[in-house]
């Protein structure tokens, strides 16, 4: 409970900064408009007008919240304009990509820890793979996959898996190697096989790392999906909302979509956090 | 081997993704150049009003986007017909992708350069030393051809224009980051107006008036499609129904805009915008039967060839268009 | 045997041979030697390229879909000046500036916050939340605010790297063991002394974790931001323009430069890390 107050303070401070920034950034437009219309405006009038523009440079928080409310609870759930609909469109490939990415990441990590050749050859290239701007080539990836007959959910999921597997690999390699030398030696004195060392020592010891990398991976998977939607034919999904918002200069819509994405990300991370607490408590990591 | 890969991957994709195919109808996929909007009203009308169905076609319309190159989609087999602008289609052709124009529903160009009046730009010569927003992604060719015709370098400096890659919206003009930006008569120009600027605050150069208009939205297929009689037959029916759709859209602009809106899944478009866009689009399609006018083609090619040191295409293309389809479709 | 199936067979054969060689090398007595540690990943990379070349040639994939590595290499050698100009614009001006500003700002913020447990409690969850956001979505907005040139790209990068770096640093500053802190207290050390002599060194693995994550984020951020408006140079600009022109060899040339630059950047940070945190368990072998 003692965390609520500090968090609230920080959030309020951010909101205050936001309002000030909104006034600052939107004032120019009010002044330009007034100049074209040929009358002058007072300070108070400027502030008032910066709070309610149709296409503000930076929408005020209450405008974004109003748009969020309107686009989620203010309309039918099945409507194509509903943000819930678009969120679901984005969430489905995210979850699939998250699954693919996590499994791939786990397998790679296990391979790296147990196989010297893989350790030496895969890791540098896994890092190099992340420096390839997948975001920039996402449209090409989708076109290429389309050309061999893969459409719909899977191309988006693959791009999201591509971003998601890396944090899992890095975290799990660290985690699987986290048991101290002395513990591994102990297992050896028990004459444990590599398999037994893995199941009874390495894997349990890696659990805290596992959940941390899952959280990062989930966020990365969501980003991957959004990016896959962004340039590839604004059809539907949160990425498409961002794009069409940008295309039509609907800044309020962009921010609402960003917030919806934030809520999704927070929900994903939150769910993983809950599981983490449960599991780690039962395993005795948290006392 | 390729076939094997295709089947294997298609099998993967079929897990819950199989599209419902109407029985007994010929499938055809059309790749649009941009997002769903009234620019493509004719095709959506033909689909919704059943014109394609009457011709025994089951047409899938794929919306495009800022980073979808229709030419790449057709090269990958993701579409049978694409909508593209002639400059980029001819440039792709020179790169070894044999695109052929089979019909040209857009008679006139809707491309313009829109400047804020307060910058003092009155005539094209005034562009020297200014900053101009241009679309890239294959849409930069008309601008480059125009500048090279005027002899203005596009590398910046006091004598040349500084070119910015314009994003998807008109903000660079509104935020005074650019003196001029590229606009279409049916779309971005009205976004500028919607943002609160008045027509008298703006100076506009239409490519059509500057004598550098190149052909815009046309229908393109790969050369091989034209060798296949079955495919040719499908294309004939497709063009016939599409042009019927365009005629209908021109006459019933409001309903056409509503049809477009029904097909838009982003939920970002508004009826008011689409109706207005439909009105402007109708001005561009008016007078085109769908048949490509060879004179327009020649003009486009000449403009593209005149690119000075860096022409868009280096040699006169051969066989880049055909009347084979329209001759049969429009009898 | 046709040329196509020859290429496929060759690629697969090469793959198997390289695989076998790598396993042997890694298990050999010299597996710890510097040469082997360079050869093994290099062989792996070459195998990937050969497979790619073989598949493209063997299945005759059209160049407008996926060019072969040999075509890309030719393109790179022909376009060095353009690639260099784009590299400077995007990497040096955009990504590196943003990386330095973002990481420095995050580090300083973490130190400031450290003095106030109240702020720390509030900022950490919020920072964690923001770190998970699709910050890339703010790119169009930042281009609108900061203009088309590299400044807006640096701004995107700054925001992208700030929160991962902040979260890691704050976390790291809590990494010192209570017993060590108590020892410092018994020495009558000031806050500053405790910070520089104990807590910052203890925080280094976390700080470097943040720095490493940020290297890849920085490059990606700078490239993607260019999609939303840019001057007519830069890696992101080139990629999106050349896709439109179907010059896929140029696109992949830029991607290769990006991957190379990104890997070297990451590698440089990793080398510094190894020098400074040699004592940490994760740096030990085995």
Q: Identify whether the C-beta of residue B89 lies closer than 8 Å to the C-beta of residue B99.
A: yes
> Could you read off the pLDDT of A137-161 as tens digits, one per residue?
777 777 777 767 677 788 888 888 9
Model confidence band, residue C278 (pLDDT cutoffs 50, 70, 90): confident
Minimum-distance CB partner of A152 among B17, B63, B264: B17
Please give the residue that has the higher pLDDT: either A72 or C14.
Answer: C14
Chain B residues with CB under 8 Å of A134 CB are: none
- Residue ending a domain, choose from A22, A42, A58: A58
Model confidence band, residue B5 (pLDDT cutoffs 50, 70, 90): very low
> Could you read off the pLDDT of B24-83 as tens digits, one per residue?
678 899 998 888 888 899 999 999 888 999 888 899 888 887 667 888 888 877 789 999
Is A133 in the same domain as A11? Answer: no
Q: C-alpha distances in angstroms, B128 versus A130, B142, B206, B207, C67?
A: 42, 18, 18, 18, 39
Residue C25 Cα, gap to closest chain B Cα (Å) = 34
Q: Is residue A200 situated within a structural domain?
A: yes
Q: Is residue B242 situated within a structural domain?
A: yes
Is A12 in the same domain as A124? Answer: no
- Pick from A83, A29, A34: nearest CA to A52: A29
Inter-helix orientation angle A4-37/A61-72, to 10°: 100
Yes or no, beta carbons of C281 and A215 under 8 Å apart: no
Is B121 in the same domain as B225? Answer: no
Q: Is residue B169 situated within a structural domain?
A: yes
Chain B residues with CB under 8 Å of C230 CB are: 164-165
As a whole-number percent, the residues of chain A with pLDDT over 70 amount to 89
For chain A, first and last CA: distance in Å?
A: 18
pLDDT at residue number B307: 63
Yes or no, beta carbons of A10 and C126 under 8 Å apart: yes
B162-193 burial code (b ≥16 CB/10 A, e <16) = bbbbbbbbbbbbbeebbbbbbbbbbbbbbbbb
Q: Is residue B157 situated within a structural domain?
A: yes
Question: How far is B213 from B104, CA to CA, in rounded Å?
Answer: 14
Q: C-alpha distances in angstroms, B13 versus A227, A273, B20?
A: 21, 33, 14
Q: Is residue A65 situated within a structural domain?
A: no
β-sheet bridge partners, residue B29: B60
Minimum-distance CB partner of C240 among B1, B92, B136: B136
> Could you read off the pLDDT of C112-150 as tens digits, one per residue?
888 877 877 777 778 777 776 777 777 777 887 787 788
- DSSP class of residue B321 equals B
> Could you read off the pLDDT of C122-132 as tens digits, one per residue?
777 787 777 76
Question: How far is C65 from C47, CA to CA, in rounded Å?
Answer: 21
Chain B residues with CB under 8 Å of C247 CB are: 95
pLDDT at residue number B3: 46
Yes or no, beta carbons of A241 and B268 under 8 Å apart: yes
pLDDT at residue number B12: 41
Model confidence band, residue C107 (pLDDT cutoffs 50, 70, 90): very high
Residue A258 Cα, gap to closest chain C Cα (Å) = 7
Minimum-distance CB partner of A153 among B5, B17, B76: B17
Domains in chain A, number: 2
- DSSP class of residue B194 equals H
pLDDT at residue number B21: 43
Is A140 in the same domain as A16? Answer: no
Is B247 in the same domain as B314? Answer: yes
Q: What is the CA radius of gyration of chain C?
A: 23
DSSP string, C125-172: HHHHHHHTS-GGGGHHHHHHHH-SSHHHHHHHHHHHHHHHHHHHHHHH
Question: How far is A52 from A49, CA to CA, in rounded Å?
Answer: 6
Query: Hey, is B60 helix, strand or coil?
Result: strand
Q: What is the CATH number of the domain that holds A88?
A: 1.10.3720.10
Interface membership of A127 toward C (CB under 8 Å): yes
pLDDT at residue number A208: 81
Q: Is residue A184 situated within a structural domain?
A: yes
Q: Is residue B3 situated within a structural domain?
A: no
DSSP string, A16-44: HHHHHHHHHHHHHHHHHHHHHHT----HH
pLDDT at residue number B10: 44
Task: Find the residue in C nearest to A239 (Cα).
Answer: C137
Is B256 in the same domain as B120? Answer: no
Please give the residue that has the higher pLDDT: either C60 or B111.
Answer: B111
Dihedral Cα A39, A41, A47, A51, nearest 10 deg? -10
Is B232 in the same domain as B321? Answer: yes
Is B125 in the same domain as B183? Answer: yes
Chain B residues with CB under 8 Å of C62 CB are: 75-76, 97
Q: What's the predicted TM-score (pTM) here?
A: 0.80
What are the backbone dihedrals phi and psi of residue B111, each rounded to the nearest 5 degrees, phi first? -85, 140
Q: Identify whether the C-beta of residue A207 lies closer than 8 Å to the C-beta of residue A280.
A: yes
Is B42 in the same domain as B142? Answer: no
Instruction: Assess whether pLDDT exceeds 60 at residue B20.
Output: no
Chain C residues with CB under 8 Å of A117 CB are: 22-23, 25-27, 40
Question: How far is B308 from A66, CA to CA, in rounded Å?
Answer: 54
Is B176 in the same domain as B260? Answer: no
Q: C-alpha distances in angstroms, A66 versus A61, A74, C196, C229?
A: 9, 10, 48, 29
Of A46-60, A162-176, B49-63, C160-174, the least confident? A46-60
A36-63 burial code (b ≥16 CB/10 A, e <16) = eeeeebeeeebbebbbebebbbbbbbeb
Q: Is residue B285 situated within a structural domain?
A: yes
pLDDT at residue number C105: 94
Q: Is residue A149 situated within a structural domain?
A: yes
Q: What is the CATH number of the domain that holds B127?
A: 3.40.190.10
Is A30 in the same domain as A167? Answer: no
Residue B178: domain span: 111-210
Q: Is residue B10 situated within a structural domain?
A: no
Is B230 in the same domain as B96? Answer: yes
Yes or no, beta carbons of A235 and B265 under 8 Å apart: yes
Question: How far is B317 from B89, CA to CA, in rounded Å?
Answer: 11
Interface membership of A146 toward B (CB under 8 Å): yes
Domains in chain B, number: 2
Is B225 in the same domain as B297? Answer: yes
> Could you read off the pLDDT of B306-316 as tens digits, one per residue?
765 566 677 88
DSSP string, B202-241: EEEEEHHHHT-----SEEEEEGGGGG-HHHHHHHHHHHHH
Q: Is residue A141 situated within a structural domain?
A: yes
Of A27-31, A230-234, B24-28, B47-51, the least confident? A230-234
Is A48 in the same domain as A93? Answer: no
Is A30 in the same domain as A168? Answer: no
pLDDT at residue number B311: 64
Q: Is residue B12 situated within a structural domain?
A: no
- Residue ending a domain, choose from B182, B210, B238: B210
Is A42 in the same domain as A159? Answer: no
Say how many CB pairs under 8 Å bridge B and C. 88
Interface membership of B35 toward A (CB under 8 Å): yes
Residue A258: domain span: 83-283
Q: Identify whether the C-beta of residue B92 lies closer than 8 Å to the C-beta of residue C248.
A: no
Is A99 in the same domain as A47? Answer: no
Task: Find the residue in B nearest to C140 (Cα).
Answer: B167
Please give the residue that has the higher pLDDT: either B270 or C51.
Answer: C51
- Pick from A214, A127, A213, A200: nearest CA to A174: A213
Question: How far is A75 from A65, CA to CA, in rounded Å?
Answer: 15
Task: Find the residue in A nearest to C244 (Cα).
Answer: A140
pLDDT at residue number C132: 66
Residue C78 Cα, gap to closest chain B Cα (Å) = 17
Q: Which of residues 148-167 of A touch C (CB under 8 A)?
A: none
- Residue ending a domain, choose from B189, B210, B231: B210
Instruction: Assess whether pLDDT exceeds 80 at residue A8.
Output: yes
Minimum-distance CB partner of B72 among C64, C144, C148: C64
Instruction: Assess whether pLDDT exceeds 90 at residue A102.
Output: yes
Instruction: Assess whether pLDDT exceeds 70 at residue B15.
Output: no
Instruction: Assess whether pLDDT exceeds 70 at residue A243.
Output: yes
DSSP string, chain C: --HHHHHHHHHHHHHHHHHHHHHHHHHSTTTTSHHHHHHHHHHHHHHHHHHHHHHHHHTT--TTT---HHHHHHHHHH-HHHHHHHHIIIIIIIIIHHHHHHHHHHHHHHHHHHT-HHHHHHHHHHHHHHHTS-GGGGHHHHHHHH-SSHHHHHHHHHHHHHHHHHHHHHHHHT-S-HHHHHHHHHTT--HHHHIIIIIHHHHHHHHHHHHHHHHHHHHHHHHHHGGG-EES-SHHHHHHHHHHTT-HHHHHHHHHHHHHHHHHHHHHHHHHHHHH-TTSGGGS--
Instruction: Assess whether pLDDT exceeds 50 at residue A201.
Output: yes
Question: How far is C134 from C125, CA to CA, in rounded Å?
Answer: 17
Instruction: Assess whether pLDDT exceeds 60 at residue C244.
Output: yes
Residue C6: how many CB atoms within 10 A of its CB? 13
Yes or no, beta carbons of B10 and A236 under 8 Å apart: no
Q: C-alpha distances in angstroms, B123 versus A14, B120, B129, B206, B268?
A: 48, 9, 13, 12, 36
Of A260-269, B88-97, B166-175, B199-208, the least confident? B166-175
Subunits with 3+ Cβ pairs within 8 Å of C are A, B
Q: Is residue B200 situated within a structural domain?
A: yes
Q: Which of residues 166-225 of A touch B (CB under 8 A)?
A: none
pLDDT at residue number C281: 64
Q: Which of A29-38, B19-28, B220-229 has the highest mean pLDDT?
A: B220-229
Is B325 in the same domain as B221? Answer: yes
Model confidence band, residue C37 (pLDDT cutoffs 50, 70, 90): confident
Residue C285 Cα, gap to closest chain A Cα (Å) = 9
- Residue ending a domain, choose from B176, B210, B244: B210
pLDDT at residue number B308: 56
Model confidence band, residue B213 (pLDDT cutoffs 50, 70, 90): confident
Is A183 in the same domain as A258? Answer: yes
Is B47 in the same domain as B187? Answer: no
Q: Tell how strand B111-116 and strand C230-231 pair up.
A: unpaired
Question: How far is A218 from C26, CA to CA, in rounded Å?
Answer: 34
Is B193 in the same domain as B239? Answer: no
Minimum-distance CB partner of C246 among B69, B154, B172: B69
Q: Is residue A74 situated within a structural domain?
A: no
- Mean per-residue pLDDT, C252-276: 88
Is A42 in the same domain as A164? Answer: no
- Pick from C97, C93, C84, C135: nearest CA to C238: C84
Q: Is residue A234 situated within a structural domain?
A: yes
Mutate to test the interface with B, among C246, C250, C251 (most CBs of B within 10 A): C246
C215-227 burial code (b ≥16 CB/10 A, e <16) = bbbbbbbbbbbbb
Q: Tell how strand B218-222 and strand B99-103 pair up.
A: antiparallel
Please give the residue that has the higher pLDDT: either C84 or A24.
Answer: C84
Kindly report the average pLDDT of chain A as a whole number: 80
Residue B171 Cα, gap to closest chain C Cα (Å) = 7
Q: Identify whether the C-beta of residue B163 lies closer than 8 Å to the C-beta of residue B196.
A: no
């Amino acid at each position: 409970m003692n965390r609520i107050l500090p968090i609230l303070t920080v959030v309020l401070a951010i909101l205050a900064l936001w309002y000030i920034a909104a006034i600052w950034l939107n004032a120019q437009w009010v002044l330009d408009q007034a100049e074209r219309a040929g009358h002058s405006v007072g300070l108070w009038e400027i502030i008032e007008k910066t709070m309610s523009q149709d296409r503000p440079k930076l929408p005020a928080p209450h405008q974004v919240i109003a748009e969020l409310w309107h686009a989620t609870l203010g309309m039918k759930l099945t409507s194509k304009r509903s943000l819930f609909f678009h969120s679901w469109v984005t969430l489905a490939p995210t979850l699939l990509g998250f699954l693919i990415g996590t499994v791939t990441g786990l397998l790679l990590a296990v391979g790296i820890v147990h196989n010297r050749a893989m350790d030496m050859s895969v890791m540098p290239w896994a890092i190099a793979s992340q420096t390839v701007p997948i975001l920039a080539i996402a449209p090409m990836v989708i076109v290429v996959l389309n050309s061999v007959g893969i459409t719909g959910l899977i191309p988006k999921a693959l791009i999201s898996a591509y971003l998601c597997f890396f944090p899992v690999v890095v975290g799990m390699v660290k985690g699987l190697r986290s048991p101290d030398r002395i513990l591994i030696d102990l297992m050896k004195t028990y004459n444990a096989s590599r398999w037994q060392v893995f199941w009874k020592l390495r894997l349990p010891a890696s659990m805290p790392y596992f959940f941390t990398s899952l959280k990062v991976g989930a966020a990365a998977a969501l980003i991957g999906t959004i990016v896959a939607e962004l340039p590839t034919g604004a059809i539907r999904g949160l990425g498409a909302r961002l794009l069409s918002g940008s295309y039509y200069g609907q800044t309020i819509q962009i921010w609402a979509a960003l917030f919806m994405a934030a809520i999704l990300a927070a929900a994903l991370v939150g769910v993983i956090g809950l599981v983490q607490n449960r599991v780690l408590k039962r395993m005795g990591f948290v006392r | 081997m390729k076939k094997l890969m295709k089947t294997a991957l298609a099998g993967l994709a079929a897990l819950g993704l199989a599209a419902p195919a109407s029985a007994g109808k010929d499938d055809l996929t059309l790749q649009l150049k941009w997002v769903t909007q009234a620019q493509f009203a004719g095709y959506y009308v033909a689909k919704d009003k059943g014109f394609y169905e009457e011709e025994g076609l089951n047409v899938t319309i794929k919306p495009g986007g800022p980073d979808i190159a229709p030419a790449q989609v057709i090269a990958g087999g993701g579409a049978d017909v694409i909508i593209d602008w002639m400059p980029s289609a001819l440039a792709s052709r020179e790169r070894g992708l044999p695109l052929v124009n089979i019909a040209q529903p857009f008679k006139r160009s809707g491309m313009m350069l829109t400047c804020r009046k307060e910058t003092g730009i009155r005539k094209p010569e005034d562009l020297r030393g200014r900053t101009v927003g241009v679309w890239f992604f294959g849409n930069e060719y008309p601008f480059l051809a125009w500048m090279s015709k005027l002899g203005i370098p596009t590398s910046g400096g006091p004598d040349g224009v500084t070119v910015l890659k314009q994003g998807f919206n008109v903000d660079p003009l509104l935020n005074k980051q650019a003196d001029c930006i590229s606009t279409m008569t049916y779309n971005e120009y009205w976004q500028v107006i919607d943002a609160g600027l008045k027509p008298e605050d703006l100076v506009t150069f239409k490519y059509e008036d500057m004598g550098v208009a190149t052909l815009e939205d046309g229908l393109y297929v790969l050369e091989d499609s034209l060798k296949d009689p079955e495919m040719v037959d499908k294309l004939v029916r497709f063009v016939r129904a599409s042009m019927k759709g365009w005629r209908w859209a021109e006459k019933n602009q409001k309903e056409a805009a509503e049809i477009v809106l029904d097909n838009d899944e982003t939920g970002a478009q508004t009826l008011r915008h689409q109706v207005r866009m439909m009105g402007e689009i109708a001005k561009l399609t008016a007078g085109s039967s769908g048949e490509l006018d060879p004179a327009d083609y020649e003009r486009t090619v000449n403009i593209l060839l005149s690119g000075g040191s860096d022409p868009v295409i280096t040699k006169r293309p051969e066989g880049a268009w055909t009347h084979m389809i329209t001759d049969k479709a429009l009898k | 045997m046709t040329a196509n199936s020859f290429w496929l067979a060759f690629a697969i054969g090469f793959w198997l041979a390289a695989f076998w060689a790598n396993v042997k090398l890694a298990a050999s007595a010299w597996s710890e030697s510097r040469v082997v540690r360079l050869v093994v990943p290099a062989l792996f990379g070459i195998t990937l390229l050969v497979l790619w070349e073989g598949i493209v040639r063997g299945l005759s994939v059209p160049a407008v879909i996926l060019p072969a590595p040999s075509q890309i290499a030719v393109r790179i050698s022909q376009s060095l000046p353009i690639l260099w100009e784009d590299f400077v614009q995007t990497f040096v001006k955009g990504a590196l500036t943003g990386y330095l500003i973002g990481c420095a700002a995050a580090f300083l913020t973490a130190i400031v916050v450290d003095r106030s447990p109240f702020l720390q409690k509030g900022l950490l969850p919020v920072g964690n939340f923001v770190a998970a956001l699709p910050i890339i979505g703010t790119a169009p907005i930042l281009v609108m605010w900061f203009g088309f040139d590299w400044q807006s790209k640096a701004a995107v990068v700054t925001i992208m790297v700030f929160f991962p770096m902040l979260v890691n640093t704050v976390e790291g500053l809590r990494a010192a063991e209570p017993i060590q802190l108590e020892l410092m207290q018994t020495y009558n050390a000031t806050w500053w002394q405790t910070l520089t002599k104990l807590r910052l060194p203890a925080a280094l693995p976390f700080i470097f974790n943040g720095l490493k994550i940020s290297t890849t984020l920085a490059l990606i951020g700078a490239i993607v931001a260019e999609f939303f408006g840019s001057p007519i140079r830069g890696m992101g600009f080139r990629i999106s323009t050349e896709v439109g022109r179907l010059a896929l060899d140029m696109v992949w040339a830029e991607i290769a430069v990006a991957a190379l630059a990104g890997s070297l950047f990451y590698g440089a940070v990793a080398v510094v890390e190894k020098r400074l945190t040699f004592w940490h368990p994760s740096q030990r072998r085995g």
